[in-house]
Structure formats: structure tokens, C-alpha cells
């Protein structure tokens, strides 16, 4: 051979070769034909089994023999790829209606491999006969196989719409397909309706085809997604497992899964659920068991006592393959090209194929009937002149001479002459003459009927309809998957994710925060809390790990921190600084915190600033998914800071808020005076302040409370509720301190004390003085209280806090 070397750019060569390869794998490997719903390898497997007589009414045959026939005659690829395709045609969790019956281990829904092909046996299923029916009547085109030694069909006659019934999945170059299986009776009914009314809309078709019908059952949610897919070829639905809850003898309950989504690996699903249990990502599951046996699929998820089964199930739907999204991508080969098609286009293409198949079959039957009619007419003519025919044959030299003499003498055709000379002697009886006449009449009727089918399109459609109805009657079965119109919203309760546990939550003035188990708290004693020097606890509460802590800062911001995310630290240890839990500014100070279990409008946060602004915002405004990040709680001016944020009960408008100012002014009024506003507002005026005065305390007060007041000169004053005078918001209020011309007392801090409060802590820059509150006598309105510390040695008082 002459050597031809071409000089071509690499990109042209690569592009050309890959283009050819892509065309091959799109048309000849990965995508199904819209007419019979089969990929080439599947078609070759079925055809090979059919042509070798390995049909449903015969005995099973070794799979290795079939695979060998397919590879040797039709499909020159690896034996494993052919065997895998053959096995898939026999798996009842992959195909809605099996095309191959198999004896032996053909894999499992856990994705276990099948037994080797030398061990398994297979034959065509009864339904496959309907795909291959009339194949020998020239109904489809045949093409040479890969080595031109025999012919193979380009497509099967497919007397049922297999593409929709069994679906298909595949990936090729630039194209992929995902067509779900459907119910045979529904698809055939829709096809029959479309024959009668070709102008039907997809919505009308959906009266008959409700949606996919997966062999594994399950619940399909999202009828809008189904309609979109049927109209355009693309759409999305949610497929979730079918479950029920059982009660066990020991009082516990268990979730039982009886159907799982299509194409989900059961073994991996069970493993994933058990990993969530072992890693404690979901609370309440004791054990996960795969109880699947010959009676059907069954996964048991045993739960702890008093656990909300539906909450656990919702979490599993969200985080495992108990619920998956199925994306329609209905691509199939039509007219030699890949096309994205809706359900009506698929059925139309199938009907066009059936019209061609039935037309070609009818022509084939007509030709054979006419040929037989010709022979019968010749035999009848010969029998009518039997003696002359016998005499002519006896005088002939041989068979060839006898045939020629019959053709020349009596105008018989070559075919008729062949039939006459091959006639057996017993056929010369009177009985056979009658039988020939009956056959002639039957053939005449058959030919007339076949010609009517070819000449009348409606008659041809009626043949298709009749045969489809017969298939539907023979193979129909009940729907396995349930259709639900709407996609259910999954709400995951906190109790599923976080164990319900009571803990102590403490926050200190300098910003150290910790949660402590009740065991550690009770073992150490409340007085032995770990603190830095001169630091003190702002608030300590017994809370639930499922609650959320709202931590407020002096800059009008708040942090939403789930309690379970706060570090678990022993009571004797220091705790973690808030800056290590959330990102706050260096000069930002925690002023208070509260814990919320339910964000609703029954409670609100009352926020007060140093310059006398106040606002009340219901808890629902504080709900956020942005945990551990500072969010605005109150809009404040640059020269202002928030001094307190208190949770109040909105359902009790008679509650009283009391404010104290630096210069000793006191104002008390009901919270009903406060309008409820949004979270990013600045609020309204709380108190009418004098020049150079500012608010030092704002809190809720009740009749059983007293207020402890500290002045910069080391004096403490305790007043009862009776000293307060209820007034209106934004007034000046009453004077609590006696005004002195020299060294006047100024309030630096004040605290509302309930009956459980026993100790007070006076704080200067260098020292802390601890005393008993009940030793401070109640004072009248115009007194400055009694001196507790000597500021010459203790230092000027800066702060005051109280504790139990």
C-alpha cells in the first residue's frame, strides 16, 4: 500500500475524531430509540435470544451462551458490559416490567453484584415477545452486523410503548437521558385516547397517565413538576420512601420503611442512617435494622421512648436518601438524532412507528395470502381436469418436462405447475376438493380484510388499538407509586438535632460565657464559680440546650446563640470569652442576656439607652438564621449606648418599668405606655432628663421588689416599691436623693432586688466590697442612704451588682 501522510492541525484531527466518536456513542450506545425504548445492546440481547429460540415458553438457558452469541454475532464489546445489560433487564427494582427472566443471583437492591454468567440462566419474558412480535414479517429494516455475516434489526416492532413503560437512563457525549418508568395500563390507555383525539393536550393526557410508576414504589410529590416534564421533557419531582410507625411491646415506637425511592441503594441508605445515629447528629434513634426478606423490603428504625417519630422522620428525609429529587430529562433517538421530547411527542413517535409496522406486516401477510390464493386456484383448476393432467404428467419425461407441459398446455404458472407436480395422491379425494374450496373462500376474505386495512387509515388504527387493548388486558397491574400534588415542606425540630438537657448558663461583666451541666454546678456550689479578679456574673440561668440565648451589647446589637453551641465548661473554670464565640468589637460590652425557647409575639425585648431612649420589640423580630453574628437590636446615636435589654411579657401590660438617672431622678410607668416597634428603630423618649443627666438603671419592677442604689461616695440606699410613683412616660419624675451643695451624691449604679437576692457587691477600680442586702434599711424618698465604704481607702464607687 502507498503510504499517505497528511499534515493537519491537531485541533482539526481531535475535533473530527471526537465528533465521530460522539456520534457513535450517542446513536449506538447510550441513548434509547424512541420507537422501541431500547439501547443497541439491549436490542441485540433480546434479538439474539429470540433468534436462538430462548423464549418464555422454552427452558432456561445459560446466560454465558447468550452473552457469547451476542458478542460473537452482533455486539463486539466486553462480555461484562453485555452481561450487565442483560442482568439489568431482569431486575425487578430497575424495570417496571421485566424483559428477561433469570434464574440464580441477579444482584440486589443493595447493589450486590450478580453471580457470574456461567452460573445464571435466562430466557425472554412473556412481555418481550410483544417487543419482538412480527419481526419475521419484514416489519422493520435489517442491516448487516459488524462483520457482514448476518443481518440484525435496526429497531424492534415493539407492539407496546416500552420507552415510557420501562424508562431509560444513560449518559453519552453531550447528552444524558433520564426517563422514569410508567404504569403499562396508564400508558396504553393514554395512547388509545391519543389515537382517537390527536389534538389532546398534555393536561388531558395526564388524566390517564398520572405520573411515573417506579418499580420500587414510593411517594412522588409535585404534580406541577410532572406536568412540566410531560410538556417540555425536563422537570423535577420529589420521591420519598413509604413509611409507617409501629408501637413495640416495650412501649417504644419504630419507623418502618417499606418502599424506598427509585435507584437508591438500600445498603448505603441503612448505613447512612446508622452513621447519623452513631455520630449523634440526630437524637432519639436506638438502632437501625435491615429486616428485608423474601416477603419484601423492610427497614426498621427503633426509637427511644417519648421521641417524636415524625420529627425524626423529617430529619431523615432531609439528610438521607429516604427522600430524593428525580429530574426528568427525556432524551431519545428520533430519526437518527437525539431529541428532548415531552410525553405527547414520545407517544406520537411510537404511533408513527406502529403505523409503519402494521402497514408492513399487512403487506407481508397480503402477499403471502395472494401467493397462496394463486396456488389454491391452480390446484382447483388441476382437480377439475384431473384425468387430462394425470395423462399429461405420465407422458412427460421428467419433473421439469411435466411442469413445462402444464404451463404450455393448460396456462398454469410456474408456481402452480410446481404445486401440481408435488401433489400427493391422497389429495385427489373429494374431501380435499372441498377443503381447497373452503381455503379459497377463507383466503378471499383474508385478502379483502388486509386490503381494507391498507386502503383505510382508520381501519389500520383500529388494528393498533385492538392489539394494544389485548396487551393491556394481559399485562396490566396496579400502580405501585403514589402521587401527591404538592411537595411537602420539611420542618426539622430542634429536639431531633439537640438532646433536651437542663444546664446552667452564665455570663460575666467582662464577657466570659459558659454552659455547665447541673452535675458540675451542684458539685462545685454556686459560690465557687470561676472568675477573673474584680469580674462578676451579670446573670446565671438554668436553661435548656434547645433554647437560644439572645446576648445584648452596649452598641445596640445582639447575638443569637443556640445554647448547645456555647462551650460546655466546668463551673470552677473561667469560661470562654464572647469574642471567641462570636465576632464583636474590642470595645463592645455585654450588658445583659436572656434565653428564648419560642420566638413569638407573646414576649418582647425592652431596650433602654443612656440618653433616655426606650423601645419595645416583640421576640418574633429577633428570630434569625444568622447565629453567632452581631445583628442590630436598636438604632442608637453615636454618643449614646444601651444600658439594659430586658425580656417582658406583652400579655401583661400592667407591668411597670422604672428608670433612675445619674442625678437621682426616678420615673415609673406601665409598659403599656411603650409602642411596639420594629427591630431597626430608635425608640421613643423614656424620661425627660436635665442637662448633664443620664439614665443609670432601667428595669421591670413589681410590688414585691426593692431597689438598691449606690452613689459614688460609697453610700447605699434601699427603697421599697411604695416610694415609686406611677406616672406617664417621658416625664421628669421624682427626686430620690437629697441635693447637697457640697459633694452631692450621684447614682452610679442601681439594681432591682427580688426576695431571692441576698448579697450586694460594691466595686471600685481597685476593690470589691460584699455585704448583705437585708442589713440595708429601707429609706424614704429624700435621703442619701448610709455610707457603707470609706472612699478614701476603698476608692470611688464605680459599680454595683447583686446576687443570690
Grid coordinates representing 713 are 461616695
Radius of gyration of the chain (CA): 45
DSSP-assigned beta bridge partners for residue 503: 517, 543
Identify the three-state secondary structure at position 657. strand
Residue 544 to residue 502: CA distance in whole angstroms: 5
CA of 742: how far to CAs of 375, 694, 738, 746, in Å? 143, 21, 12, 12
Total length of the chain: 804
The grid coordinates of residue 378 equal 391452480
**Is 662 known to be catalytic?**
no
C-alpha cell at 668: 415609673
The DSSP annotation for 412-444 comes to --HHHHHHHHT--GGGGSHHHHHHHHHHHHHHH
Helix then strand then coil, % of the chain, to nearest 5: 35, 25, 40
Instruction: Kindly tell me the burial class for residue 314, based on how many C-beta atoms sit within 10 Å of its own C-beta (0-12, 13-18, 19 or more).
Output: buried
Q: Evaluate whether 520 touches 534 at the Cβ level (below 8 Å).
A: no
Nearest to 677 by CA among 614, 596, 630, 625: 614
First to last CA, the chain: 106
Round to whole Å and give the CA distance between 28 and 227.
30
For 354-393, letters b (16+ CB in 10 Å) and e give bbbbbbbbbbbbbeebeebbebbbbbeebbeeeeebeebb
Measured between alpha carbons, how far is 732 from 740 in angstroms, rounded to an integer?
20
**Which one of 50, 56, 83, 119 is the catalytic residue?**
119
- Residue 670's SS3 state is strand
Residues 6+ apart with CB under 8 A from 45: 66, 70, 82, 85, 86, 89, 100
Q: Which residues contact 166 (CB under 8 A, 6 or more apart)?
A: 37, 95, 96, 97, 99, 181
Contact partners, residue 58, CB within 8 Å, separation at least 6: 123
Residues with catalytic function: 119
Amino acid at each position: 500500500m502507498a503510504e499517505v501522510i497528511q499534515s493537519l492541525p491537531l485541533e482539526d484531527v481531535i475535533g473530527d475524531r471526537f465528533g465521530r466518536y460522539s456520534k457513535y456513542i450517542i446513536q449506538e450506545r447510550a441513548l434509547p430509540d424512541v420507537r422501541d425504548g431500547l439501547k443497541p445492546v439491549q436490542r441485540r440481547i433480546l434479538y439474539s435470544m429470540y433468534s436462538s429460540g430462548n423464549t418464555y415458553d422454552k427452558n432456561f438457558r445459560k446466560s454465558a451462551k447468550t452473552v457469547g452469541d451476542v458478542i460473537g454475532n452482533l455486539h463486539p464489546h466486553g462480555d461484562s458490559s453485555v452481561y450487565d445489560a442483560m442482568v439489568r433487564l431482569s431486575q425487578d427494582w430497575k424495570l417496571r416490567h421485566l424483559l428477561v427472566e433469570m434464574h440464580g443471583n441477579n444482584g440486589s437492591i443493595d447493589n450486590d453484584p450478580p453471580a457470574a454468567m456461567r452460573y445464571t440462566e435466562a430466557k425472554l419474558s412473556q412481555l418481550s415477545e410483544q417487543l419482538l412480535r412480527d419481526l419475521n414479517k419484514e416489519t422493520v429494516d435489517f442491516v448487516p452486523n459488524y462483520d457482514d455475516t448476518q443481518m440484525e434489526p435496526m429497531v424492534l416492532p415493539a407492539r407496546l410503548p416500552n420507552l415510557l413503560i420501562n424508562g431509560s437512563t444513560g449518559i453519552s457525549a453531550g447528552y444524558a437521558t433520564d426517563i422514569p418508568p410508567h404504569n403499562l395500563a396508564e400508558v396504553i390507555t393514554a395512547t388509545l385516547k391519543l389515537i382517537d383525539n390527536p389534538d389532546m393536550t398534555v393536561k388531558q393526557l395526564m388524566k390517564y397517565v398520572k405520573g411515573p410508576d417506579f418499580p420500587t414504589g414510593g411517594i412522588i410529590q409535585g404534580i406541577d413538576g410532572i406536568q412540566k416534564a410531560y410538556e417540555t421533557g425536563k422537570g423535577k419531582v420529589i420521591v420519598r420512601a413509604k413509611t409507617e410507625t409501629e408501637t413495640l411491646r416495650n412501649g417504644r415506637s419504630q419507623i418502618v420503611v417499606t418502599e424506598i425511592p427509585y435507584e437508591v441503594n438500600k445498603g448505603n441508605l441503612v448505613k447512612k442512617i446508622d452513621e447519623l445515629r452513631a455520630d449523634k447528629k440526630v437524637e432519639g434513634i436506638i438502632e437501625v435494622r435491615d429486616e428485608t426478606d423474601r416477603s419484601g423490603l423492610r427497614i426498621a428504625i427503633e426509637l427511644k421512648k417519648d421521641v417524636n417519630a415524625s420529627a425524626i422522620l423529617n430529619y431523615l428525609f432531609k439528610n438521607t436518601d429516604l427522600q430524593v429529587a428525580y429530574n426528568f430529562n427525556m432524551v431519545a433517538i428520533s430519526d437518527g438524532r437525539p431529541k428532548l421530547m415531552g410525553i405527547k411527542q414520545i407517544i406520537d413517535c411510537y404511533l408513527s412507528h406502529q403505523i409503519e409496522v402494521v402497514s408492513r406486516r399487512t403487506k407481508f401477510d397480503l402477499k403471502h395470502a395472494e401467493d397462496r390464493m394463486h396456488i389454491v386456484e391452480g390446484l382447483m383448476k388441476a382437480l377439475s381436469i384431473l384425468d387430462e393432467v394425470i395423462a399429461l404428467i405420465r407422458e412427460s419425461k421428467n419433473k421439469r418436462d411435466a411442469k413445462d407441459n402444464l404451463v404450455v398446455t393448460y396456462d398454469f404458472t410456474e408456481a402452480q405447475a410446481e404445486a401440481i407436480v408435488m401433489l400427493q395422491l391422497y389429495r385427489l379425494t373429494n374431501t380435499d376438493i372441498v377443503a381447497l374450496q373452503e381455503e379459497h373462500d377463507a383466503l378471499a376474505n383474508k385478502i379483502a380484510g388486509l386490503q381494507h386495512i391498507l386502503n383505510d387509515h382508520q381501519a389500520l388504527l383500529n388494528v393498533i388499538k385492538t392489539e394494544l387493548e389485548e396487551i393491556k388486558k394481559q399485562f396490566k397491574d396496579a400502580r405501585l407509586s403514589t402521587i401527591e400534588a404538592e411537595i411537602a415542606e420539611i420542618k426539622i425540630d430542634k429536639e431531633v438535632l439537640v438532646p433536651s438537657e437542663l444546664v446552667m448558663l452564665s455570663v460575666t461583666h467582662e464577657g466570659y460565657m459558659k454552659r455547665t451541666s447541673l452535675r458540675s454546678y451542684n458539685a462545685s456550689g454556686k459560690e465557687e464559680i470561676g472568675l477573673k479578679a474584680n469580674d462578676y456574673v451579670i446573670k446565671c440561668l438554668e436553661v435548656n440546650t434547645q433554647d437560644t440565648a439572645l446576648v445584648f451589647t452596649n452598641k445596640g446589637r445582639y447575638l443569637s446563640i443556640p445554647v448547645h453551641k456555647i462551650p460546655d465548661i466546668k463551673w470552677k473554670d473561667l469560661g470562654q470569652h464572647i469574642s471567641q464565640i462570636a465576632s464583636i468589637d474590642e470595645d463592645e460590652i455585654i450588658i445583659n442576656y436572656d434565653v428564648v425557647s419560642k420566638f413569638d409575639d407573646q414576649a418582647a425585648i425592652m431596650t433602654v439607652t443612656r440618653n433616655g431612649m426606650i423601645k419595645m420589640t416583640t421576640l418574633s423580630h429577633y428570630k434569625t438564621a444568622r447565629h453567632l453574628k452581631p445583628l442590630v437590636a436598636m438604632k442608637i446615636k453615636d454618643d449614646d449606648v444601651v444600658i439594659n435589654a430586658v425580656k417582658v411579657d406583652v400579655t401583661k401590660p400592667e407591668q411597670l418599668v422604672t428608670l433612675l438617672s445619674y442625678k437621682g431622678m426616678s420615673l415609673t410607668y406601665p409598659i403599656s405606655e411603650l409602642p411596639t416597634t420594629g427591630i431597626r428603630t430608635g425608640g421613643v423618649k423614656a424620661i425627660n432628663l436635665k442637662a448633664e443627666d443620664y439614665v443609670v438603671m432601667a428595669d421591670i419592677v413589681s410590688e414585691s421588689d426593692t431597689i438598691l442604689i449606690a452613689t459614688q461616695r460609697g453610700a447605699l440606699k434601699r427603697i421599697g416599691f411604695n416610694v415609686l410613683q406611677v406616672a406617664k412616660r417621658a416625664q421628669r419624675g421624682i427626686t430620690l436623693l437629697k441635693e447637697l451643695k457640697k459633694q452631692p451624691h450621684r447614682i452610679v449604679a442601681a439594681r432591682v432586688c427580688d426576695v431571692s437576692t441576698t448579697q450586694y457587691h460594691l466595686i471600685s477600680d481597685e476593690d470589691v466590697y460584699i455585704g448583705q442586702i437585708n442589713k440595708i434599711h429601707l429609706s424614704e424618698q429624700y435621703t442619701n442612704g448610709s455610707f457603707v465604704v470609706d472612699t478614701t481607702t476603698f476608692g470611688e464607687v464605680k459599680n454595683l451588682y447583686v446576687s443570690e
